[in-house]
Structures are given as structure tokens and as C-alpha cells.
């Protein structure tokens, strides 16, 4: 019996390794490089490389052609060319319960539209929680896919953005005037 169990575990082991595959890739654009990470065909991270703190320990990298992150990259190409307004990529739900509520609300902000931190705070049931919403935005590991750049101050100013105000401004311009934004497509590298 012991021998049978050992044999089965050896047979199943390669599938277990494949099932828990983590992919990492750097996506290059004229707005800056994005670090992409996925586990089991679910996007777990999309952060600007100059703002991300990233741990490479314990990762099995798989960036072969046709991988999940190639699909993600194609979607980013289309978005930055003004040809995609929504994404249908599975996203990881990591963070505190409040962070996840805020991210779900942000994900519902339509392309080309904006909402203020205080509006989102009211929608969470915390009318005075604009700063808590801003902190949840700051911790968002899925920029562009959970579009925190669409969240602005109550007075209409851009306020902060983890990728920097200039990127926030350019992303909002892309969404308001998609036909004029051909310059944001991936850099040739």
C-alpha cells in the first residue's frame, strides 16, 4: 500500500507544480515599465516598476510564448492604443475586506469617467473615509486593471497616484481622447 501511495504522489507531483505556476513578466510602454505577475492564470500584480517593491523569492518563472501574461500584454497593448475599454482577465482578490470593497467600486468606474475619493467613501458606508479610500488605492496591486487613476479629489484635482501624477494625467487623457493617444503603445525592446 505504501508503495502505491508513493507511486501516485510521484505521478501527480508534476501536475501540482504546473497547477501552482507563477508567471512574471515586464511589460514595456512609453508610460513606463509594468511588472506583471500571475498565479494559476489569475493576475496578481500589475505595478509600475519604478514604484514596486518586489520579492523574487520562491518563484517559478514561466514566460513562454502563448502564456497567460502574453494575453494580459495584448490587452494592455489594446488599452494603450485606445482600442480597449474593459478587461475580462481574472484578477486576484488580495487585501483587507475594505480594500477589496474599494477596488470593486473602482473597477465599476466607466472608462473615461472619474469619481472622487469621498464619493467612493460614501458608497462604502464610510462618509468620512476619503483618506481610507486613498490608502486602499495606494495599496492596489493591479493598476490599470483596477483603475485607481480614475479616482480624483473632491475638488476635481488629480491628487495622488501610486504611479505618479503625470502618469495619472496621461492615462486620463488617453481615456478622454483615445484617438489622439497612439504614443502610449508598447516600446520596441
In angstroms, the CA 84 to CA 117 distance is 25
Judge contact between 186 and 27, C-beta under 8 A.
yes
Marked catalytic residue, from 46, 137, 143, 148: 148
As to burial, measured by CB atoms within 10 angstroms (0-12 exposed, 13-18 middle, 19+ buried), residue 181 is: middle
Please give the full DSSP string across 84-138, using - where no structure is assigned: -S-----B---S-HHHHHHHHHHHTSPTT--EEHHHHHHHTT-TT-HHHHHHHHH
Residues 61, 22 contacting (CB under 8 angstroms): yes
Report d(CA 95, CA 109) in Å as an integer: 20
Active site residue 59: no
List residues bridging with 41 in a β-sheet. Answer: none
Active site residues: 148
Amino acid at each position: 500500500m505504501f508503495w502505491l501511495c508513493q507511486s501516485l504522489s510521484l505521478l501527480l507531483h508534476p501536475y501540482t507544480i504546473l497547477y501552482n505556476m507563477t508567471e512574471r513578466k515586464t511589460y514595456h510602454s512609453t508610460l513606463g515599465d509594468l511588472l506583471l505577475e500571475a498565479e494559476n492564470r489569475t493576475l496578481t500584480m500589475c505595478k509600475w516598476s519604478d514604484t514596486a517593491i518586489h520579492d523574487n523569492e520562491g518563484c517559478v518563472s514561466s514566460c513562454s510564448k502563448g502564456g497567460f501574461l502574453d494575453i494580459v500584454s495584448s490587452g494592455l497593448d489594446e488599452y494603450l492604443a485606445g482600442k480597449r475599454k474593459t478587461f475580462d482577465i481574472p484578477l486576484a482578490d488580495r487585501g483587507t475586506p475594505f480594500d477589496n470593497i474599494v477596488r470593486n467600486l473602482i473597477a465599476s468606474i466607466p472608462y473615461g469617467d472619474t469619481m472622487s475619493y469621498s464619493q467612493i467613501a460614501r458608497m462604502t458606508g464610510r462618509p468620512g473615509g476619503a483618506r481610507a479610500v486613498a490608502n486602499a488605492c495606494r495599496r492596489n496591486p493591479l493598476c490599470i486593471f483596477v483603475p485607481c487613476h480614475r479616482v480624483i479629489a473632491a475638488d476635481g484635482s488629480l491628487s495622488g497616484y501610486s504611479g505618479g501624477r503625470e502618469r495619472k494625467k496621461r492615462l486620463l487623457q488617453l481615456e478622454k481622447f483615445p484617438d489622439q493617444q497612439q504614443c502610449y503603445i508598447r516600446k520596441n525592446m
